[in-house]
Structures are given as structure tokens and as C-alpha cells.
């Protein structure tokens, strides 16, 4: 339903990956090739970390990314060493900024491609599972924001993989209880400014695609201002940014950690 | 924090009360004289009933009412026999369409001037008082929308005064339980296409102002297209639309019903 | 680049043609089949005539039509006997309300599918052909708005076909003078509340498609509230609203007049 | 009608002057004390220079500055050594991004507080004075944007003071020719990334206020991340940001240059 990208590595202008790459997120907003829908025009967002700020910045709007002039200028002028960005194709919930990804809580950013099946039947029960101390930061009405706040309730800030597992487990339990048999799709990224955790999971069927690349020389070629890219640059994406880089497909049921130490891959299952 | 108007009577262009009157809602959006703040620029909305439609129409946007050209055209071209309109001054929740009044559920419209004190502490508890069958129509994050859905849960569609009383009673109970001592302010209107129910209430202190007028000849003078206004035209407002009409102040702790039979006034208390 | 529709006939809820028809304008905004681009997501607009108003109403916004809830409500609640509506795919000019069609001047509405080639080279010269008395109503930066104001300057309000011919002639003269050889595409509609004038023209190549239908029983089937549709209902469109109606293709180099007397067809050439 | 600020000096988060200062631009948007109107809610904009970009970035929107969450994040995360920002109170022209200041052309930014009297009578003639090579970058309908493009036509990029003088002279000539006797108000700033040129001028009466300050230690106190502010930090404003700094009033008929060499003051008159 949506497309997203997450970057960590040396500071680069965010527009490099979001706008200038051959199959950038902006291009995907009009012509996604691997998404459930070719068009992702129901709002967008970008969240990024800056050296001088404790909390990440977030810029979200309801316009399609492709016709927001501000998006181009803001992402070209901000150089960041870690950022997440998302373009949305709503499955019915309102097109409003508070439903745009990434969502933020303190130092944490979260974005999601997928869905909780028959969420309207589960919404109330799932909200009930969210702790009082996280409840008030819910600003919108998406399943994605609820998933993020479940993970926060389950300890995302101390053990992200465990919190994400328990989140999925909780959703599946409520689905069982309601007799809901659809596909739970969860291709998501969460970041704290140091590490990006990305998950590719579905309770059945094939999970939404997820790829990563560590060979980013192509980005350097795109921008004459960029100096040599040091080791450790990583891009995680819903679909590849172009043919020039080598992309690794993340297998179903997998969590990856991307940070200064490179990419770690481990199994992910609800728990 | 906000200003609103509700009209019932013969079909008139909505702009007559919303824009053209001397102290119209549009004027109040820039220079309210009786509100908590002079400016109400954080979005607006209008809901109206049409003869050929089962559900009322709603037009809401996040711009200030005073610089939305569409608002002028839409309200000048739509003639309606019952409409509600609202201009918002947020106390902190997001400026998004889903937080703009009036809120709609089936044939019902609801709008509110006031606040639930320390709502962030009560939000979770109050949400869980809302029934599953009404839960999914919650689209925003305001206290007002929660009040509306509490009233729906408590039977608004069959006995509006009782449902509103129980709503207030529930909120006061939760305030007590949390030791919250602030002012609960509730100057609200709810309508079903036949009757407008308006309440002026505060648990302590003076409730937000509320007035009504039945002498609307002045509106006729404003618009040469209007034919004679039949008996039964009623406007209920947060603050008077101008000095030319005779305005009745609604006393604190009062509910009024306005419809074809005129205005009925009765006591209102939480129950 | 764009898609549009124009309707004249008995009062109908505008949403019937704009949203509910099988291949409605809303559907075309996401999946146009005959347009230069499948997607028309760069703003939209609707203009309509009401019995009690001297000037038509206009509602335009920069969102894609498909995710503006207001668009649905406003067009479902307004019944009109003549309206124009347009969805935009910009070729580069800003996505702002003042660049959305239809454009309005007094009782007149204008909308356009097509383009003036290399308009950036001609813009200044064409603007200076516009008379002082029409100049100040230019609010945006599109070629379409300039074409409308040229037509106004050349007497649109008294002889629409002649004014449109002279407009095209003027543009072609300036193209010649600048040595511009591209295609001038002009599939446009202009209305005064009594008659819709629609033109299909290109200086070379095939003009953008244009169709009309007078057999609108299908619309009646769509809406149980509609009474028998009297003779004289006409829809003019960029592409057909569905397979159930019989659509006449307007030949290249043609102007049609649609109004109470039915459809008149005549040759159109720059003059 | 409007308020603006221009900063040059060491890199600071833009939000320091735009949001955090006691009487910041954000505060002025709701409660300007020296402006023609207390409220400036008809859009806003900020333009800034970044070391790695040849052209300045621009972020503009039609919302009031006070309810745009993006504005807070973008200006807190971008550190800049030169930026201009503006809040708008329209005198009637459309509230659209292309009418928001600052305007940009190549490396140049321009913003304006004031007005050309009876601009609707002069607009066509003044547009005529703008050269073809600058004409196509006009995107909106304000008098301010026309003034900027006149200055570009008259050599702003090589001799800013002379170009601004000739611009005002041209406007006054056209006013004379049309017999327009109103006040021409021109408190404006233009920048090229190295120097800010600010003018305070009116053809009669008192020009809109203009101040500057070079003692910015107070900004340092506001932000613990700021290191020692080197010599040469300068803020030019429509009205002071607070009482803690010493503000110099720019006299009527004056142009100041602010840059690395400090502030130069010289007479300004139309020429």
C-alpha cells in the first residue's frame, strides 16, 4: 500500500535518495513497480536525525510528494546521517498529517508498509493494550500508529526486536479471538538515531518486499559535492532505487539491524 | 476557545449567517468579542441538511475560515433549512480536518465550545466508555469528538437530553477519580435534521456564553432574494450576530430544543 | 494532460457525473484511459450555476480529487442544472488553487484540456494582448487562464465562437513570430449559465478527445431520487463516463453549443 | 501588513529567531504590536542559504505559521548563516504559496512589508516593464513579486541599491501617470547569500518600521548548543524580537547592508 526508505551512513542530502536516484521515492510515488498499487499519492513524510538536536525532525504533508515544492527544498538542504521516509496509499483512513509516516515518540521514528486486516474490528481492543504513558501521543487513526504504540508499550526503547515480536503476537491473538483470517502484513522500520531495525513479516502469504544495499558508490556519482562515502552506508527500501546498486532481498520472517557496525540479519517471529 | 452557530427555519443561503451578517461567524473568526481568545483561526467546518439527501453534508478545512474562498462560494450557493457551523481555536490538539467541528454520525451533527480539563489524562478512560459500534467512526483526537461518541453510546439517537446528561456525568466521574478539579466547559449543539439541541453547562464557574434569536427579519433585509421568513426561524449562537436582532441569553445549566415548534427551554444537569 | 466534464439539463446532484458514474471524473483522476497521462492528481475544480445566485459558484483545491472528502459532500448536496468540472495534471506550473480550472469571470466559466507549446516563451506577449479591464482577474500562471482572458478581451461575452477563434488565431500568430512549431492543443469548454460552448481543436496532429451524450437515462438509474430526466440533458466530456451511454465523438476542428435547444455542431477554425 | 526578519552571522538553528525568541516571528504572527494589523495569518515563508547548495532553500505554506508543525521542525533542524523569513497578512490577493515571501530567483531572495497603492490599476503596466528573461519566474499575483522582478530587470544582481532605487522610481512614475496619490510603502530585504540589503522607504507619510541589532548574546543564552557568537551577527526586523537586545531603528529613506563586514547605512531615494 505504501513505499518507504531508511538510510544510515555518512551525512548526505536526503534528496539524493528521495528525489534524485533513478527510481527514487518520488518516482515511486507516481509509478511504484512492486507495490500493491502503482500510485502512492495520499501524503508522505520524512523523519531525520541532526547532530545538534535531541529529537528527530519530522516533515509530513497530505499532498502527494510529487507536487510539494517544499519537499524538494527541505530534503535537498538537510544533510543527515540517518533518515526514514514514506509515501502513503491509504486503504481508507483519512488523509491527514497525523496519519502520515514516520511517527515519532521521543528519539524514535517508525514507518510501516502493510496492514492489519479488518482493523476497524480490532482497533478498540488494540488501543486498550496501549499503556497510559504512551496513549496520549496517538494523534491519528491508522493501524500503523497503533502498532508503533504497542511496541512502545512492550519495551521498544530497551529491546526493539522483542517488543516488535510481542506486538505482532498481540495482534495475531486478537485476530484469532475475532476469527479474522486475513493477511497481517508488516514491513516496517524503526530507528533511534543509532540503529535502524527493519522487519519483513506476514502471518501468511508473501510479505511485502524489502531490500537493502550497502554498495552506495552510485549515490556518490549522483552528487559532485559528496566526498568519499565511508564504510557503513546502508539503505533499506521497499523496492530498489535503481539498477546500478546491488540489492539484497530481505527474506520473509526476518529482522535486520543497520548501523555503524553494518547489517545484522536474524529471524523474526511473533512471540 | 471556539465559536459556533446553529440555524433552523426556512431555507436560506448559509452564507447569510456565516458571512454576511454584521458580526457573522467569519467576522468572529478574526475578532470574536466574547470568546476566550479573539482569534479562531485553527480550522472551521459547516454541516447542513438537504432535502434530497439522507445524511447531512459536511465541509471542513484547516485554513482559517477567513481565507478560504471555497467557504464563501459553497455557503452562498447551498440553501439549507438546518445547519451548524464552527470556527476553531485549538488548545493544543492537531489542526487537521478530523478535529474540526461539526462531527457527523449518520444523520447526527455535533459541535462544541468548551473543554474537558486535563483531557490527556482522561482520554484513554473516556475512549473505553465508547461502544464498539461507535468506536470506528472516531477520526480525530479532540475531547469534543469523544464527548459526541459518548453521547451516541448512551442513546443520543433516541433520547438526546438523557444521553448528554449521562455523558457529562461520566466525564465528571472520571475527573473525580483522577482528582481533576478544573472547569468542565460544555456549550454544545447536536442536531438530527429535525431538532437542534443546545446545552450551556459548566461544572463550576460561568459556562461559555450561549444565545438564541427568533426574530430574523434582519436576515431578510440582508438578502433581496429571500421571501418572507415564516414562523419558526431560530438561530443559536456563541455570541450574537449583530445588534439588530433581539438575543435571548441561555441561562447556565440549560438545554434548549429548537425546531418547527419553536424553542423549548429546560434544565440540564449531569445524571 | 487534464480531464473535464460539462453538464447541462435538469437539476441533478453533481456527484452523479463526478463521482458515482462508472468511469466518473473521480475514477479518471486515478485511472484516465484516454488522457496523455493516466493520473490527474494535481488539483481539481468544479463550477456550477444556482437559481438564486447571479454568479456561478466555484470550488477548487490542490489535493487530488480522490482524497478530498469535502468534494464528495459538496457535489452530492448541490443539485445544479449546469456545471463544469476539471481534474488537473500539471505540465510544470505550480499546483495552487488559482491554477485549477474552471476559471470564473462574472457569469462565465472556462476550462481547458491541452496546452500552448513553449508557453514560457509566449507568456509575456500573450499577457499583453489582454485588455486592462480583464487583466486584474488573472490570479494564476497557467496558459489556460491566459486563453480565457484573451477570449474575454476579444468579446467572449457577446460572441463566444468568434472570440475563441480570434484567441487561437492570436496564439498561432505569436507562435509563428517566435518560430514555435509544437502542437497547440485546445479542448475547452466555456459557459454562461445558458449555453455550454465546447471546442476540439489542434493546429496540427490529433486534438485531445472530446465526446458528448444526450441519452442520460443511465444517470437516472444510478439515483433513485432523480425524477424523469426531461429532453435536453447533455454531457460533454474528455472521455466517456461509461459504456452504458451512447457517446458521440466531436470531430477535430469543431465547436458545439449545448443548451436547452439541444446540441448544435459547427466548424471551428482560428480567425 | 506583514512582518519579516533577516539574519546573517554564524550558523544558528533558524527557530531561535523565528520561534524561540520572546517576541519571535511566530509570536508576531498572532500578536504583532507594531504592524498595521495584529494578525499575520495568511501564509508564511522562510528562505535560507546552506554551505553545500548553490541556491537557497525556500519553505512556504498557506497555513498560519502558528499551526504548522513542519515549520517548527524544519527551522529547528536547519542551521543557517543567512536566512530571511516572512509572515503575511494579505490585502486581498490570493492566499497561495506563490504569493508567500520570500521570493527566489537564482541565488537571490526578496521579501517585502508594504504595498503599492491601487496595484490593480498598475499591475499590467508594471508587468510590462519586466524583462522577458525574468518574466517567466513570476508565479503569483502580489505587488511584492512584481517589485522583485522589476529590480532584477534593473540589475539587482550587479548593483542592488541602484536597482532598488530605479524600481521605486518606476513605480512612482506609473503612479503619477495614473494620478494615484496613495502611500507607496517599501520596507524590504533582498539577499544573495553574502549580503542582506534592507530598505525602509515611503513616498509620503511614515514608512513601515525597521530595526536591526548586532548584540545577539541573548540568542546564545537561549540555546545551550550555541558556541560563542563571533563578531558580525546581525538581525534586521520589522519589529524587535524582545527587550533584551539593543535595537537600532533604521531611519526613513535608508538602505542598510548587513554582512561579514557589519552594517553599512546609506541614504535611499528613488532614482
Provide block-wise average pLDDT over 10 residues at a time, chain B (271 residues).
Answer: 87 87 74 65 92 94 88 95 91 87 97 94 96 92 97 98 98 97 96 97 94 74 53 82 80 95 93 84
Does residue C207 have a pLDDT over 70? Answer: yes
Q: 3-state class of A248 per DSSP?
A: strand
Share of chain D above pLDDT 70, in %: 89
Instruction: Identify the band that residue D27 occupies on the pLDDT scale cut at 50, 70 and 90.
Output: confident
Closest CB from B93, B123, B132 relative to A124? B132
Does residue A243 have a pLDDT over 80? Answer: no
Cβ of D63 and B67 within 8 Å? Answer: no
Is any Cβ of chain C less than 8 angstroms from the Cβ of D139? yes
Is any Cβ of chain D less than 8 angstroms from the Cβ of C138? yes
Is any Cβ of chain A less than 8 angstroms from the Cβ of C30? yes
Average pLDDT, chain A: 89
Cβ of B67 and D62 within 8 Å? Answer: yes
D216-268 pLDDT, tens digit per residue, is 665 665 555 555 455 568 999 988 877 767 889 999 999 999 998 889 999 99
Residue of C nearest to B57 (CA): C73
A-contacting chains (≥3 CB pairs under 8 Å) = B, C, D
Asked if B112 contacts B190 with a C-beta cutoff of 8 angstroms, the reply is no
Note the pTM of the prediction, 2 decimals.
0.92
Average pLDDT, chain C: 89
Residue B138: its chain A contacts at CB < 8 A? 141
D-contacting chains (≥3 CB pairs under 8 Å) = A, B, C
- For residue D158, give every residue at least 6 positions away whose Cβ sits within 8 Å of its Cβ, in sequence order, or none: none
Query: How many angstroms separate the CA atoms of D87 and D39, rounded?
Result: 9
Cβ of C95 and A41 within 8 Å? Answer: no
Structure-block grid coordinates of residue C265: 455542431
Q: For residue B185, give the H/E element and its range.
A: strand B185-191
Q: 3-state class of B97 per DSSP?
A: helix
CA B3 from centroid of its chain's CA atoms: 8
Structure-block grid coordinates of residue A191: 530507528
Does residue A240 have a pLDDT over 60? Answer: yes
Report the 10 Å Cβ neighbour count for A80. 23
Does residue C155 have a pLDDT over 90? Answer: yes
Mean pLDDT of all residues in C76-83: 95
Mean pLDDT of all residues in C37-49: 85
Mean pLDDT of all residues in C86-92: 83
Report phi then psi at B110, rounded to 5.
-145, 135
- For residue A104, give every residue at least 6 positions away whose Cβ sits within 8 Å of its Cβ, in sequence order, or none: A47, A55, A56, A58, A110
Cβ of A13 and D97 within 8 Å? Answer: no
Gap from B96 CA to chain A (nearest CA, Å): 6
Closest CB from D64, D69, D94 relative to B64? D64
- CA distances to C188, C235, C262 from C214, rounded to whole Å, are 19, 7, 8
Residue B96: its chain A contacts at CB < 8 A? 94, 96-98
- For residue D52, give every residue at least 6 positions away whose Cβ sits within 8 Å of its Cβ, in sequence order, or none: A13, A79, A225
Closest CB from B13, B48, B73 relative to C52? B13
Q: Supply the pLDDT for residue B230.
A: 55
A45-70 pLDDT, tens digit per residue, is 999 999 989 999 999 999 888 888 99
What sign does the dihedral B100-B104-B105-B111 (CA atoms) show? Answer: positive
Q: Supply the pLDDT for residue C58.
A: 97
Comparing C-alpha atoms, which of C60, C155, C166 is closest to residue C104? Answer: C60
Best D30, D31, D41 residue to mutate vs chain B (most B CBs within 10 Å): D41
Is any Cβ of chain C less than 8 angstroms from the Cβ of A47? no
Query: How many angstroms separate the CA atoms of D233 and D261, rounded?
Result: 10
Q: Supply the pLDDT for residue D228.
A: 46
Q: Supply the pLDDT for residue A201.
A: 97
Query: How many angstroms separate the CA atoms of D47 and D84, rounded?
Result: 5
Closest CB from C96, C124, C127 relative to D96? C96
Is any Cβ of chain C less than 8 angstroms from the Cβ of A64? yes
Is any Cβ of chain D less than 8 angstroms from the Cβ of C135? yes
Structure-block grid coordinates of residue D37: 494589523
Asked if A89 contacts A2 with a C-beta cutoff of 8 angstroms, the reply is yes
Say which range, A28-42, B82-96, C53-67, D115-129, has the weakest mean pLDDT. A28-42
Is any Cβ of chain C less than 8 angstroms from the Cβ of A20? no
Residue B76: its chain C contacts at CB < 8 A? 53, 57
Listing DSSP states for C185-210 in one string gives EEEEEEE-SS-EEEEEEESSSPPPP-
Mean pLDDT of all residues in A191-207: 96
C-contacting chains (≥3 CB pairs under 8 Å) = A, B, D
Of residues D223 and A235, the one with the higher pLDDT is A235
Comparing C-alpha atoms, which of B3, B57, B63, B10 is closest to residue B33? Answer: B3
Does residue C23 have a pLDDT over 70? Answer: yes
Instruction: Identify the band that residue A241 occupies on the pLDDT scale cut at 50, 70 and 90.
Output: confident
Gap from B220 CA to chain C (nearest CA, Å): 14
Is any Cβ of chain C less than 8 angstroms from the Cβ of A69? yes
Residue of A nearest to B139 (CA): A141
Gap from C58 CA to chain A (nearest CA, Å): 21
Say which range, C67-71, C183-187, D25-29, has the weakest mean pLDDT. D25-29
Q: Supply the pLDDT for residue C83.
A: 97
Residue of B nearest to D88 (CA): B67
Cβ of D77 and A53 within 8 Å? Answer: yes
Residue of A nearest to B62 (CA): A96
Average pLDDT, chain D: 89
Is any Cβ of chain C less than 8 angstroms from the Cβ of B70? yes
Is any Cβ of chain C less than 8 angstroms from the Cβ of A94? yes
- Three-state secondary structure along chain D? CCEEEEEEEEEEECHHHHHHCCCCHHHHHHHCCCCCCCCCCCCEEEEECCCCCCCCEEEEECCCHHHCHHHHHHHHHCEEEEEEEEECCCCCCCCCHHHCCCEEECCEEEEEEEECCCHHHHHHHHHHCCCHHHHCCCCCCCHHHHHHHHHHHCCCCCCHHHHHHHHHHHHHHHHHHHCCCCCCEEEEEEECCCCEEEEEEECCCCCCCCEEECCCHHHHHHCCCCCCCCCCCEEEECCCCCCCCCCEECCCCEEEEEECCEEEEEECCCC
Is any Cβ of chain B less than 8 angstroms from the Cβ of D141? no
Cβ of C97 and D98 within 8 Å? Answer: no
Q: 3-state class of C158 per DSSP?
A: coil
Q: Supply the pLDDT for residue D36.
A: 56
Query: How many angstroms separate the CA atoms of A210 and A17, rounded?
Result: 16
Q: Supply the pLDDT for residue A216.
A: 66
Q: 3-state class of B178 per DSSP?
A: helix
Query: How many angstroms separate the CA atoms of C184 and C181, rounded?
Result: 9
Mean pLDDT of all residues in D131-152: 95
Report phi then psi at A9, rounded to 5.
155, -155
Query: How many angstroms separate the CA atoms of D133 and D126, rounded?
Result: 15
Residue B69: its chain C contacts at CB < 8 A? 58, 60, 97
Q: Supply the pLDDT for residue B90.
A: 79
Residue of A nearest to C90 (CA): A67
Of residues D24 and C120, the one with the higher pLDDT is C120
Is any Cβ of chain D less than 8 angstroms from the Cβ of A76? yes
Of residues B77 and D2, the one with the higher pLDDT is B77
Does residue D187 have a pLDDT over 90? Answer: yes
Q: Supply the pLDDT for residue D29.
A: 73
Q: Is the peptide bond before C45 cis (omega within 30 degrees of 0)?
A: no
D49-80 pLDDT, tens digit per residue, is 999 899 999 999 998 888 889 999 999 999 99
Comparing C-alpha atoms, which of A29, A112, A17 is closest to residue A65? Answer: A29
Buried b (16+ CB within 10 A) or exposed e, B108-120: bbbbbbbbbbebe
Q: For residue A111, give the H/E element and its range.
A: strand A108-115
A135-177 pLDDT, tens digit per residue, is 989 999 999 999 999 999 999 999 999 999 999 999 999 999 9
- CA distances to A21, A23, A78, B249 from A229, rounded to whole Å, are 16, 21, 17, 71
Amino acid at each position: 500500500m505504501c513505499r518507504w526508505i531508511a538510510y544510515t551512513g555518512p551525512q548526505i542530502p536526503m534528496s539524493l535518495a528521495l528525489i534524485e536516484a533513478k527510481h527514487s521515492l518520488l518516482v515511486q510515488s507516481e509509478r511504484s513497480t512492486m507495490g500493491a498499487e502503482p500510485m502512492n499519492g495520499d501524503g508522505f513524510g520524512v523523519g531525520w536525525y541532526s547532530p545538534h538536536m535531541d529529537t528527530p525532525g519530522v516533515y509530513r504533508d497530505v499532498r502527494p510528494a510529487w507536487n510539494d515544492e517544499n519537499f524538494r527544498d527541505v530534503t535537498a538542504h538537510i544533510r543527515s546521517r540517518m533518515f526514514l521516509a514514506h509515501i502513503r496509499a491509504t486503504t481508507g483512513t483519512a488523509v491527514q498529517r497525523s496519519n502520515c509516516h514516520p511517527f515519532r515518540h521521543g528519539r524514535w521514528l517508525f514507518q510501516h508498509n502493510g496492514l492489519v486486516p479488518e482493523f476497524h474490528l480490532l482497533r478498540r481492543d488494540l488501543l486498550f493494550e496501549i499503556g497510559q504513558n504512551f496513549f496520549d501521543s496517538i494523534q491519528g487513526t491508522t493501524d500503523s500508529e497503533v502498532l508503533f504504540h504497542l511496541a512502545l508499550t512492550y519495551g521498544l526503547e530497551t529491546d526493539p526486536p522483542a517488543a516488535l515480536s510481542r506486538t505482532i503476537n498481540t495482534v495475531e491473538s486478537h485476530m484469532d479471538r475475532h476469527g479474522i483470517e486475513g493477511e497481517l502484513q508488516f514491513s516496517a522500520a524503526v530507528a533511534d538515531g543509532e540503529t535502524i531495525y527493519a522487519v519483513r513479516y506476514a502471518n501468511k502469504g508473501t510479505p511485502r518486499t524489502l531490500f537493502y544495499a550497502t554498495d552506495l558508490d552510485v549515490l556518490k556519482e549522483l552528487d559532485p559535492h559528496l566526498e568519499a562515502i565511508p564504510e557503513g552506508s546502508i539503505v533499506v527500501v521497499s523496492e530498489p532505487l535503481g539498477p546500478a546498486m546491488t540489492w539484497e532481498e530481505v527474506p520473509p520472517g526476518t529482522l535486520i539491524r543497520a548501523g555503524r557496525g553494518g547489517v545484522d540479519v536474524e529471524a523474526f517471529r511473533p512471540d
